[in-house]
Structures are given as structure tokens and as C-alpha cells.
Chain A
Amino acid sequence: MKIAVLVKQVPGSESPLPINSDQKWVDESAVSYIMNESDNYALEEALQIRESKGEGEVVVVSLGPVRIQKVIREALAKGADRAIHIQMDTVSEVDPLSTAAYFVNALEEENFDLIFSGLQSDDVGMGQTGVLIGELMNMATASLAIKTEVGDGNIKVKRELEAGWFQWVTLSLPASISIQSGLNTPRYPSLKGIMGAKKKEIKVVEPNKNVAKQSLEKVYLPQSDKQTVMIEGSVDQMVEKLINAFRNDIKIF
């Protein structure tokens, strides 16, 4: 069983996001990066499948500049066997068809049985890369997976629908699955894993050429038409003002 896990490095939820003066992107030098949350779950799911089968290979694949090797190393430390780094500058890259094409180009000759990706990235949040790659490679696809069961030549996936509904879908291999957060408990790297990761292979590949089919015009701070009343002061004053708002404005008692 050969599994590719697509991993993205994204700004952490507490990271500053200063907008550049040309309004085309954020100032990346001020950003602190982490592994995208749902990708972390996808990686854990792949590692658990390899462990339960007692065989196979988990290959982490990532697209971006040199800085992303930090999350690649993290994935290797957690137990991925090797990595492919499609090295390119991805500033204000918002075209999922191009992103998918870069991955297809790097994945094609590897003949993976499964491609796992996180449901969506916590930066641009296009939420379609895994399905696009599967379709472009003529694989079966499923998104919003919250449970997986690998069978003989197939994978059964529990998919999340809306409002508390679910559905089991069986896909013959090869297949591309987008993983929803929360389906397992991602591990932390062990000291042995961190040491071992240094010896694992990171294959750096050049991106192929693609023409962007959608582009970012500008980024800006949210414009809210809502008038938010900010409640300020000492903790005791805030408590008093909140209770006044509950009583006199929202009228809950």
C-alpha cells in the first residue's frame, strides 16, 4: 500500500498577518507557520493504515518555497518514509487547477494506491485540491472523510454530509480522499523520530508550467457593516456593562 499525503504549511491561528503595501499578499516575513490542521489528520490516518497493514509506504508531498521543509521534516519525524518537495514560490497562489497540476506532475510516475489530503487549507481555503488531483488522474474521489477502512483493492470511507447525516462510500483503488479534521488523534514526533527524520529523503522537484485560471486582485481587512459595541474597562466594569446589556438591550431578563 503506497500512500501519498499532501501537506501544506500555513500561518498558525495566532500568527500576525500584516498586509503588504501593494495589497497583493501578506508580509510572509512576519508570519509564523504550522502544518495545516486537516493535513495533520490526513497524515495520521495514512500512518495508522501503514501500521495496521504492517507494510507499505507513506510519502509526504508538499508545494511551496524552501521554508516548507520545516513541515516536511515534521511529517518525516512523525513517521512518513520519504518526501517530495515541489519547490516554487507560491505567494498569492490561488489557482487550484494549477496547484493540482503541479501535484499531478510530481505524483504521476509514483503509482500511489491512495492520495490523502486535508479537506481545506487554513490560508486560502480553496478546498478542492484533492478532488481535482483525483479527477485529473482518473481516480475515484471522496471528500469530508471522517473514517476509513482499507479493504482488498478498495477503501471504504464514512463521509460527513450536512446537519448530522453521514454516508458510507466504497472506492476502488487508486483513490484520492480528502480528510476532515477530528477523525483520529494525531501523534507528536518522538525524539527517535526527529533524529531519524534527518536521514530520510526529501526529493526536490521543479514545478511544470501552468497558466493560472483565477487570480488574486487584492487582500484587505474584513469590512463589517455591523456596529459592534465594544465593552471595555476593568474586569468588574466589563461584568457590570455586560449584565446591563443583557438586561436593557438584549432583554434576556
Chain B
Amino acid sequence: MKILIILEDNNGKIHRMGLESIVAAQKIAAGLNATIGAVVFGKNADALADEAAHYKLEEVVKIKDSLLDNYSADGYAEAVKQVIEQEAPSYVLFGHSYQVRDYAPKVSAKLMKPFLVDNVAVKIANGKAVFTKQMFNAKLFSDIEPNGDGPYLISFQSAAFSSEAANKGSAVIKEVSINLDSSMIKTESEPPFKEEAGGLDLTAADLIVSVGRGIGKEENIPIAQALATALGAELASSRPVVDAGWLPAAHQVGSSGQSVSPKMYLALGISGAIQHMVGMKGSKNIVAINKDPEAPIFDVADYGVVADVLELVPKLTEALQ
């Protein structure tokens, strides 16, 4: 049995979620007695292959093709489809990155094989793998099994595994070729660009007060700001607050915003959607105040307070002053 990991390029280095999927692959390989191959491609394929070769894998499969130098959903999906056909793995693992969300479903459709997404854990029992996924915005967990013959495409949520747990070793690099044609690519992409985040670097903040939809309305934002000021903390938010226009995008923490790991993350009225949690799970101490005792944020919180933010926070601010 073989497991294939598709590693994503992050400016010449393996994307963090790729390292995490190495850990997942090593866990599944131990349980199912499988070998592991890692696939790299794109303009930085050489550097990625060298980096991947330092992990405990059987081999690194390198694809060099100028049509993969820049990302396109069609080009990447076709490349991954062809390498799956050549390597015949039982499982194909991805990090659940934004790029993977954009092209991996196409691989699933091309092969008519299932894509089990955004898993937080894997359990091995009776010679097969069962995957755990959050549902209903992380309020419930589910166990999902692929049906029929593989290969099965599997993605793992950011931080489902710790990249530090990846076993080191040395792997052979093998270069393979695929057949790509520019006519396969139905889109035209412009170069990626970064939008000015307004100069707010939350990643360096020691203390963060973060506000979610539970704050109710824009007029209540100063209540959270006052607490942040009293604590000497930066003010952050979840996505719905930014979408509603209550705070600029620079304040957003989560998969589409900044990833933070402060000494204390104080979440006010944040329910704890997956997209938010992946950006703050690494905080040293998480304190959550939310009036809904079932809010998923309490599953990751070190300290939880079931209370109305609008009632509690002004008093907390006053006491701190």
C-alpha cells in the first residue's frame, strides 16, 4: 500500500500544512503498513524536493513542467491526476489550504474518487482509515469513511497535526514527467498581489482582545476597544465583523486573515468557526466570553465565561482601570 502526499510551495519552502500532512501520512503508514511518497512541482520543485528528502519517506516524486510554474487550477489538477495514475497510491493527502480547495475537487471529479476534506484526525481500525471532520461550524464532530476502491483524496485542517512531529530521514528523489498542454488550462491568471493590511501586525502582539459577531452591532465595538486599551492589548476580530464593515480587514484573525499566537487571546462573542480557530489555536492562553454555552470556542479555551459580553466587559474594563 502506498500513500502519496501532495506538497504545496510557499515561496520555495514546503507549505506548513504540507509538513503537517507528512505527520498524518507517517501515522497512517504505521497503522496500515504503507510506504510514503511526496510529490513536488512548480517553479521551486528542486528546492522543495531537497527539503522533502530530509523526512522519513520512501521517495520524493518531482515534476518539472513550465506549465506548472504558475498556479492554475486546471494545470495543477491535471498534474496531480496524472501522477496519481502513475504512482497508484491508496491514499492521497493534502493540507486543506486555499489552493487545495481551488483545485483538488477537480482531481476528485476527473478520477471520480472521493475527496474527504478538512479532517482534524484519523483513526485506524480493522485495516482501514476513518477520518474525523468537524460539522455545523465545529459544533459537532463526524466520522467519515471513503467507499469503494481508492485512491481516496484526503485533506487535513491546518494544525490538525504538529509539523514538529514529522519524523526525519532520507528519501530518494525521482523525477517523473507528465503530459500537459496549454489548451488544458481554461483560465488566465495574473500575478498574486498583497493588499496593504493597514500596518497592523497582530502576529507580534503579546495580548489580543478579539471581537466576534456576538458584540451585536458596530456601535458596541468601543466596548471591546476600551478593554483592549485597559489591558494594553491589540484589537482583533473574526471575519463576520470585518464582512459587516465594523472593523477594517487588517484586524481579522483566521484562515483569510492573520495567524496569531499571543500570550493571551481574549475572545469576546466569538463562536469559534473553523476558519477563525485555525488562526488563533496556537495562542498560549485562550479566554472566551460568550453567552452561548455550546459555542465551539469553549472547546479550545483555557478559561471560559458564559456571560453576555455587553454586560460583563464594561465592568471588567472598569475594574482593570
Contact = CB atoms under 8 A, between A and B. Distances in A.
Main secondary structure of the interface of A (DSSP, over half): mixed
A139 to B, nearest CB: 8
Interface string B294-321: 0010111111111100011001100110
Nearest to B71: A167
A61 B240 CA distance: 26
A228 B301 contact: yes
A54 interface: no
Given A182-B242, A242-B303, A162 B256 contact: yes
Contact of A160 (B98, B191, B271): B98
Main secondary structure of the interface of B (DSSP, over half): mixed
Given A169-B190, A170-B188, A229-B302, A164 B197 contact: yes
B140 A165 contact: no
B302 A215 contact: no
Contacts of A19: 140
B80 to A, nearest CB: 13
Given A123-B135, A164-B197, A220 B316 contact: no
B189 A168 contact: yes
Interface residues of B, number: 86
Contact of B109 (A132, A166, A235): A132
A140 interface: yes
Interface stretch (B36-44, B113-121, B218-226): B113-121
Given A169-B187, A235-B312, A229 B101 contact: no
A32 interface: no
Interface string A210-253: 01111111111111101111111001101110110110011010
Contacts of A143: 101-102
Contacts of B312: 235, 238-239
A220 B112 contact: no
Contacts of B142: 94, 124, 216-220
Given A216-B144, A218-B142, A128 B300 contact: no
Given A97-B108, A220-B140, A243-B319, A167 B307 contact: no
B316 A243 contact: yes
Interface stretch (A10-18, A70-78, A79-87, A107-115): A10-18
B26 to A, nearest CB: 21
A17 B98 contact: no
A169 B315 CA distance: 49
B143 A222 contact: no
A41 B130 CA distance: 34
Interface string B127-153: 000100111111111111111100000
Lowest 3 A-B CB distances belong to which pairs? Answer: A182-B243, A128-B105, A140-B186
24 contacts: A13-B271, A96-B114, A100-B109, A125-B117, A125-B133, A135-B77, A135-B106, A140-B74, A162-B97, A165-B193, A166-B193, A166-B194, A167-B193, A169-B189, A171-B186, A171-B187, A217-B143, A220-B141, A221-B140, A222-B141, A224-B300, A235-B312, A238-B305, A243-B320
